[in-house]
Amino acid sequence: MFIAVIRTVILYVFVILAIRLMGKRQISDMQPSELVVTMMISDIASLPMQNTAQPLLSGVVPVLVLVSLELTVSAVMLKSRLFRKLISGSPVVVIEDGRLLQRQLKRLRLTTDELCAQLRQQNVFSLQDVQYCIVETNGVLSVLEKPSKRVPNAEESGIVIPDNKMEAVVVSDGAWVESSLRLCGSTRQEINNILQKKQIKLNEIFLMTMDGNGVCQIIRRENEK
């Protein structure tokens, strides 16, 4: 039993590292090749976990081969548009200038019910509101509403919105978040100066955020009884 637990932990860590090598993608954002490799990795890794008599390398080596293939395919896709189109396909326009392209829907085997459901997820509840609709290579819809249905932005409305820069978490549960300090252009010394003025210790902070203009918000830890 102990050996099975150790094998499972090793394979778990290994698969996590393998997926990290492939890049950060949500399932809905994966290209077909990435989704296939991810499913195959999970199946292959489960075999040595279930059968302790099977060598651990029988799960590690195939996973390494699959990850290497995926990284190679990704590199070739960056260089070759034709190869990228062959592997991932091309975006398909299903609504063009307000007109529903029935032939394209049949080509994608996409029913009108499925199309309307995905449009509702984009906060579009009527086909008549859509000027262009494109099915991307990962299956997600990109929708452009008709001009009369679009929400005007600040520039179109003539409104000047103050630039508060990006707000980032600089302290989380009493610990520094170095990457966020760089995002908001701050340093530990600046944060410490603020905390000294407010008479707050670092370990008393549950959450502290700061934007690029130096505006911060602090949430103290709750007292645990």
Q: What is the distance between the alpha carbons of residues 202 and 217, in angstroms, rounded to a whole number?
A: 14
Asked if the model's pLDDT at residue 120 lies above 90, the reply is yes
Q: What is the distance between the alpha carbons of residues 160 and 142, in angstroms, rounded to a whole number?
A: 28
Q: Are 44 and 61 in contact (CB under 8 A)?
A: no
Q: Are 136 and 142 in contact (CB under 8 A)?
A: yes
Query: How many other C-beta atoms are found inside a 10 Å radius of the C-beta of residue 6?
Result: 12
Q: Decide which of 205 and 25 is more confident.
A: 205
Q: For residue 4, what pLDDT band results from cuts at 50, 70 and 90? A: low
Q: What is the pTM of this model?
A: 0.60
Q: For residue 38, what pLDDT band results from cuts at 50, 70 and 90? A: confident
Question: For the segment 55-105, what is each residue's pLDDT rounded down to a tens digit?
Answer: 777 777 887 887 788 788 888 888 888 888 887 778 899 999 999 999 999
In the prediction, which pLDDT does 89 show? 79
Question: For the segment 124-176, what is each residue's pLDDT rounded down to a tens digit?
Answer: 999 999 999 999 887 889 999 999 888 888 888 888 887 777 788 999 988 99
Q: For residue 224, what pLDDT band results from cuts at 50, 70 and 90? A: low
Q: DSSP 3-state helix, strand, coil percentages of the chain (rounded to 5)? A: 55, 15, 30
**Mean of the per-residue pLDDT values for the chain?**
82
